[in-house]
Amino acid sequence: MTTQNTVNDSHALILKADHLSVAFESEQGPTQALHEISFDVYEGEILAIVGESGSGKSVTSLTTMGLLPENGRVTNGHLWYSPRDGDAIDLTTLDDEQSRILRGTRLGMIFQEPMTSLNPVLKVGDQLTEAARLHLKLSARKARDEALAMLSKVRIPSPERVMDEFPYSLSGGMRQRVMIAMALMTRPRLLIADEPTTALDVTVQAHVLEIIRELQREFGMSVIFITHDMGVVAELADRVVVMQAGRVVEQNSVHDIFAAPAHPYTQKLLAAVPRLGAMRGMPLPHSFEIPGESAAEAQASIDYDTDPLLEVDALEVRFPISSGWFGRARQEVLAVDRVPLKIWPGETLALVGESGSGKSTIGRALLRLAKSKQGFIQFADTRLDNLTDDQFRHWRGDMQMVFQDPYASLNPRLTVGFSIAEPLLIHKRVPSLNKAMPTVERLLEQVGLKAEHARRYPHEFSGGQRQRIAIARALALEPKLIVADEAVSALDVSIKAQVINLMMKLQRELGIAWLFISHDMAVVERIAHRVAVMHLGRIVEIAPREQLFAAPRHPYTKRLMEAVPIADPAQRHHRPVDTQEPRSAVIPRHQQQPPYHYREVGEQHWLFTEGNP
């Protein structure tokens, strides 16, 4: 079934940005965040503002809400808001009190971080009713009834119980639902949602988007939806404003934007969006087609009859949950439950799953950054699991890791050159830092940076560049396997495509095997030879990529695929909203888990099955 949100016939304007400019004062002088941007929001429509980091999309929403930080000010233009009755108001001229009243009654906002946008010391019920009692002058009883009704509207199971809970006991998805309920309590005419699903898992994101769409229709409100994700835009928006570096470069209806992007930046953005299904009919991974770069290339095929590079069996990791200061742990999280795994030389195995599924823990356990309880690990004919930490250090050169957060993975006090040279110095491959510099410079060039960057500090680089530096460091010891733990998740789409192409280029040239840990199915479809799907600490299905995407067998794999936003507005479909709290893998300490095994359902295609074979 396809649904189309049509713009209200009346075409009544609710918000109009007219050559709006915003500047921020800083130590280095003023920086212009918005350059004379203009756009309209009509009643009853969902307007998506898309752009990469630094494009000014969040500044736009903060300006609308009157929430600009102290050092920000409007330097030019107007932001007209049309009330139902009376003349349009210029939001940029309101004082704090006026904009506070408007915020409380006519405008609502949802923020990105569900974990921090609720007050941790107030019960959910109190936070929900606060605005309604203040602005709508409702009695405590009436406000509570309203809140309960709103919680059921956002599909929260047992709203009565949730009302009396503190935010910490709710999952991220539940908190974001509470946030939406809170923003809607005062029945705003305009809801601003600033990346509300970016921090959520894909299945949870699908539910939250569905809820926003339903409520938008029910209340007939307008929504400004700010996001960097073209897939989400295609799923939700009526019209799209594309922003780049503080300017609006293109605005149009969602169908026209996707069908015929006019501006080169929009074209580039759309080209870089990984689309699920884009790889149908291609058995081997393929790099991205990026305008202005060399043509996409296919990876080499893997001979599965040879010996694997890495063989893992029955890997198990448990984290005790300690209760209190001297309390003994009674429970533990079963992060990884007897997982088997094989990776062949030059292969990319993707490990997908939602947060908490244990996929990162597997990577960390392989590199001994997390302690495994048991498990057989063999790397290139050598048993690694029974080595002491000291003996294992020699093997670290063969297995490297690239981390998710490019800002945190480099020591801010060391030059980039030193960070890259460090592994060489530690393993005594070079006698001194000076002797390491030629290698460092070669590595920097290999990942697309310049040799002279070696003398700079991490803060001088963008996120994408830092990730390249992290990859250069991982390459320093000429490893055979690199674990990439959500290595491109924090990057903007166009940068993401470049870094993925880099990873694939390195595989073609150096024969590196990647263990690619990700929650992003579309990226995985691009890069992986084989895919393993993780759920609650277990691999539930493992198969060659094409087979898995074409014919997923396990119900969880199907659910995961179903939830991925499709970057094509013509393929919109309704998804049922799930009201279940996600299950967790918390078990009593030392509890034995029931046996399970894998059933072969196709070539290299294994399916999780309960019980003994």
| Binding-site ranges for another protein (CB under 8 A) | 28, 293, 364, 367, 369, 393-394, 396-397, 400-401, 403-405, 408-413, 415, 422-423, 426-427, 447-449, 456-457, 459-462, 464-465, 468, 470, 473, 476-477, 494-495, 498, 501-502, 505
Residue among 345 and 448 whose Cβ is closer to another protein: 448
Nearer to another protein, 128 or 513 (CB): 513
Residue 61 CB, shortest distance to another protein, in Å, is: 24
Comparing CB distances to another protein, the nearer of 510 and 601 is 510
Nearest approach in angstroms of CB 409 to another protein is 4
How many Å is the Cα radius of gyration of the chain? 26
Tokens representing 609?
A: 């099955």
Nearer to another protein, 336 or 444 (CB): 444
Residue closer to another protein by CB (options 268, 558) is 268
The contacts of residue 348 (CB under 8 Å, 6+ apart) are 285, 299, 507, 513, 514, 516, 527, 528, 529, 530
CB of 367 to another protein, least distance (A): 5
Cα angle for residues 282, 549, 492 (degrees, 5° grid): 85
CB of 377 to another protein, least distance (A): 15
CA 30 to chain centre: 31
Q: Give the Cα separation of 69 and 537 in Å (integer).
A: 42
* C-alpha 459 chain-centroid distance: 23
**CB of 25 within 8 A of CB of 70?**
no
Residues 28, 77: Cα–Cα separation, whole Å: 24
Q: Which is nearer to another protein, 456 or 558 (CB)?
A: 456
In the bound state with another protein, the residue whose beta carbon lies nearer, of 99 and 501, is 501
- Please say which residue, 425 or 566, places its beta carbon nearer to another protein: 425
Residue written as tokens 């024969």? 511
Question: Least distance to another protein from the beta carbon of 543, Å?
Answer: 29
Kindly state the helix (H) or strand (E) to which residue 80 belongs, with its residue range.
strand 72-81
Shortest spacing between CB 515 and another protein, in angstroms: 13
Which residues 6+ apart lie within 8 Å of 169 measured at CB?
none
Is the Cβ of residue 206 or residue 490 nearer to another protein in the bound state?
490
CB of 105 to another protein, least distance (A): 35
The Cα-based distances of 381 to 84, 128, 225 in angstroms read 74, 59, 53
Q: How far is the CB of 457 from another protein (least distance, A)?
A: 6
Tell me the H-state helices in 347-492.
359-366, 389-393, 416-426, 433-446, 463-475
Token reading at 80: 């007209």
Q: For residues 216 and 184, give the distance between their C-alpha atoms in angstroms, rounded to a whole number.
A: 10
Of the two residues 115 and 561, which places its CB atom closer to another protein in the complex?
115
Distance of CA 597 to the CA centre of its chain: 31
- C-alpha to C-alpha distance for 396 and 133, rounded to whole angstroms: 60
State in angstroms the smallest separation of the CB of 439 from another protein. Answer: 14
Q: Are strands 13-24 and 31-42 parallel, antiparallel or unpaired?
A: antiparallel
Q: What is the DSSP letter of 167?
A: G
Strands of the sheet with 348-352, listed across from one edge: 399-402, 481-485, 513-518, 348-352, 530-535, 538-544, 605-610, 596-602
Closest to another protein by CB, 223 or 443: 443
Beta carbon nearer to another protein, 393 or 574: 393
Sheet holding 222-227, edge to edge: 107-110, 190-194, 222-227, 46-50, 239-244, 247-253
For Cα atoms 466, 469, 470, give the angle at the middle one, nearest 5 degrees. 90
For residue 133, the minimal CB distance to another protein (Å) is 36
Q: What's the rounded Cα separation, in Å, for the pair 233 and 565? A: 9
Q: What is the DSSP track for 366-403?
A: HTTSS--SEEEEEETTEE-TTS-HHHHHGGGGTEEEE-
State which residue, 167 or 479, has the beta carbon closest to another protein.
Answer: 479
